[in-house]
Structure 1
Amino acid sequence: MGEPLKVGIVGLGTISAQYLGTLDRLGSVALVAVADLNPELGAGVADRRIGVRACSVGELLAADDIDLVLNLTIPAAHADIALQAISAGKSVYGEKPLALNTLQGREILGAASAAGVMIGCAPDTVLGTGIQTARKVIDDDLIGRPIAATATMVTPGHERWHPHPDFYYQPGGGPLLDMGPYYLSALVTLLGPVTHVVGASSRTRATRTIGSGPRRGEVVPVDTDTHITGVLTHAGGALSTVVMSFDAVATRSANIEIHGESGSLIVPDPNHFEGDVQIRTLGSTSWTTVPVSAGYLDASRGIGIADLASTPDGGSPRAGGALAYHVLDVMESLLRSAQTGRANPVGSTVDRPTAVPLQGMS
């Protein structure tokens, strides 16, 4: 075993608590520094952990003892922080989306390739037992050739619970760019890359009212569409229908369903690492729960960093930049299709990430 991968975190907002909990459990990764525009947040994290220091963003990016920057900033800052880290010779693992647009995404991947560093990107939920067990069912041909899939995410909006929801309603936010990466990363992992899309979108109101925290009652503007639907054509021929909404209330349908020639599959919520996978095959009269058979056990946000750390030289992380870029390209193509009313080709492609055998976190 080599030395653990040394990590510095930039951005200590709401999502950081989940990453910190995971990093505290990983033996292959060591947190050494944290930085946030609010110095009190950094000091609070460092004070609770031996060997972790709080510093400025500039100091963290320049530090010689950091191998990888965990970029948990808001989407508008993803590309800037990633490019600064790459320029300093560091690998990057970022929150989704990879960048605000594919132009920035290409710049990140190009810079990383030239610098010889690795890019990882959320969501790493696709590495858990839920999505990976579903993938094994498909790979083992238990439902036959995949024909179609549905993916549905419906919520009345994050402003109801998030104390600072502004970025969800700005370019780079919205239900597609915020929640879409979970669903689209899962669909690509399960069914392969997307070649064409057709999309439509809308927004129900021009403002949102914060429902919790110190800014409760404050009104924020909506500058992005908040309901998106689309049809994706996968390279293998399967058609996926997606619905991503911050406008509706709830759904009783499965988050993701996959339909094959000889069976159908219920896939658990791709925003989580676990969950029951259910199958119903041709001729049967009921659904059966599939035993957990693949993926990282008891995984949580940040397992993608450990997976990146174990990637062989020259390999591509499973929750890597190539997958994140393709998903970003699909989302951008969907929004373009919605705006123009025309079908759009997806310019990028990606290999399906390698499957994750059943294993514990390391």
Structure 2
Amino acid sequence: MGQPLNVGIVGLGAISGAYLSTFERLDAVRLVAVADLDAARAEAVAAEHGARALTVDELTRDPGVDLVVNLTTPAAHAEIALRAIAEGKDVYGEKPLAVTLEDARAVIEAGRAAGVRVGCAPDTVLGTGVQTARKAVDDGAIGEPVAATAVMMTPGHERWHPNPDFYYRSGGGPLLDMGPYYVTTLVTLLGPVVSVVGAASHTRATREIGSGARAGQVIAVDVDTHVTGVLRHASGVLSTLVMSFDSVATQASSIEVHGQTGSLVVPDPNRFDGDVQLHELGGAWQTLPPSAGYRDAARGYGVADLAATPPRAVARANGEVAYHVLDIMTALLAAADTGTTVSVESTCARPAPVPLSDAPVPGPR
């Protein structure tokens, strides 16, 4: 077993708590530094977790930091990633990889030129839920895959998030916010996408914050809040996608995959676990026991998986997958805007499957 990877976190907002909690129980990573625009918050988190509080510039330059975990808002993802890469650091960011495809491409190209690794959430696909479903597909449990559906319908994050502004600005909306979970899962299960068609709507000009100190404040909506489309995978499978902040509720399964001899219900892709349901032709619904994936996984396992990956191998939650997922989503928005079929120019390899196992262990350095 090798040495843990020394990581520093930039951005200590709401999602950072999940990463901090996970890192405490993972041997593959060691938290050594944190940074935030709010220096007092950084000091408090550093004191609680035995790390150093630094400025962003200090953290990205610090020789004791091997990998920068970028948990800033989407608009800052590319900037922070590029600063870390310029200092020779590996980077792992929250989704999406960047707000625009151009910025995401710059991150990928900079990482290649510098010889550093680029990783990106979501890592929920590494848990037992999606990985058990993938194993069922790969083992032929549903025969030749034909189609899939992926549905996320909610009334909007402003009802519970105290600062939801970025969800309704460029880089936000239901597709770019929640879509990465669903599209990454579809790519993991069924492979890359070659073209898309779609439609979208913008139903309200404003939203009212429903919780926290700003409750009752009205914010502007600058993005489409209901997006639907069809993704054509390179394999020929057609996936129907619905992402909405304009609904009340749905009874539709999050993701279903249908083949010639069976159908699968895949757990919520925003979770790491959950039951996988299989209905074989002529049979009845049955629950599959976990057969693949990291047990008890949580946010941050993608960082640990990268830390455990040998230097010449490709980590599972890698930048190439994240870039392809962003390419799919931006192509879908373009298709909705133009009313045409739009080709997805990029591609990626399906990440390696995760055998049923516990947490990743430190890899060679």
Q: TM-score, normalised by structure 1?
A: 0.99
Deviation string, structure 1 residues 70-118 (Cα, Å, up to 9, x no partner): 0000000000000000000000000000001111111101100011100
Distance in 2 between residues matched to 1:144 and 1:243, nearest whole Å: 25
Give the equivalent residue in structure 2 for 1:41.
41
CA distance in 1, matches of 2:206, 2:99: 22
The answer as to whether partners of 1:203 and 1:247 remain within 8 angstroms in 2 is no
Amino acid corresponding to residue 340 of structure 1 in structure 2? T
Instruction: State how 1:57-136 maps to structure 2 within 5 Å.
Output: 57-136=56-135
What's the CA shift string for 1:222-248, capped at 9, x where partnerless? 000000000000011100000000010
d(CA) in 2 for partners of 1:28 and 1:278?
32
**In the alignment, is the contact (CA less than 8 A) between 1:209 and 1:218 conserved in 2?**
yes
**What amino acid is the match of 1:251?**
T
| Residue of structure 1 in register with 2:177 after alignment | 178
Candidates 299, 308, 324, aligned match of 2:306: 308
Quick check: 1:28 aligned with 2:31?
Answer: no
The Cα shift of 1:314 comes to 2.2
Q: Which amino acid aligns with 1:361?
A: A
Amino acid at match of 1:335: L
Q: In the TM superposition, what is the alpha-carbon distance from 1:2 to its structure 2 partner?
A: 2.0
Shift of 1:196: 0.5
* 1:290 partner amino acid: L
Aligned residue number for residue 19 of structure 1 = 19
2:229 matched residue in structure 1: 230
User: Which one-letter code corresponds to 1:240 in the other structure?
Assistant: S
1:3-59 deviation digits (Å, cap 9, x = unpaired)? 210000000001101011101111110000000001121111111122x01111111
Cα offset, 1:163, TM superposition: 0.7
- Aligned amino acid, residue 24 of structure 1: E
Task: Please say if residues 109 and 119 of structure 1, whose CA atoms lie closer than 8 Å, have aligned partners that are also in contact.
Answer: yes
| Distance across 2 between alignment mates of 1:315 and 1:344 | 32
CA separation in 2, counterparts of 1:33 and 1:182?
Answer: 28
The percentage of counterpart residues that share the same residue type is 62
Runs of 4+ in 1 over 2 A off after TM superposition: none
Whole-angstrom CA distance in 2 between matches of 1:114 and 1:92: 14
**C-alpha distance in 2 between matches for 1:2 and 1:119:** 20
**8 Å CA contact retained: 1:125, 1:273:** yes
Q: How many residues align?
A: 360
Q: Return the letter of the residue paired with 1:308.
A: L
> Structure 1 CA distance, aligned partners of 2:131 and 2:243?
22
**Partner secondary structure for residue 292 of structure 1:** coil
How do 1:174-213 and structure 2 match up within 5 A?
Answer: 174-213=173-212
State the distance in 2 between where 1:76 and 1:60 align. Answer: 19
- In structure 2, list runs of 5 or more residues that go unmatched: 361-365
Counterpart in the other structure of 2:323: 325
2:290 corresponds to: 292
SS of the residue corresponding to residue 49 of structure 2 reads: coil
Aligned to 1:260: 259
Name the structure 1 match of 2:355.
357
Q: State the secondary structure of the residue aligned to 1:232.
A: strand
Give the deviation of 1:193 after TM superposition: 0.2
Letter in 1 for 2:113: A
Corresponding position: 1:247 with 2:233: no
C-alpha contact (below 8 Å) 1:151/1:183 kept by paired residues: yes
Shift of 1:267: 0.2
Report the Cα distance in structure 2 between the residues aligned to 1:244 and 1:112, rounded to whole angstroms: 31
Residue 168 of structure 2 corresponds to 169
Measured in 1, the distance between the counterparts of 2:343 and 2:322 equals: 17
Structure 1 residue runs without a partner (length 5+):
none
Secondary structure of the residue aligned to 2:186 is: helix
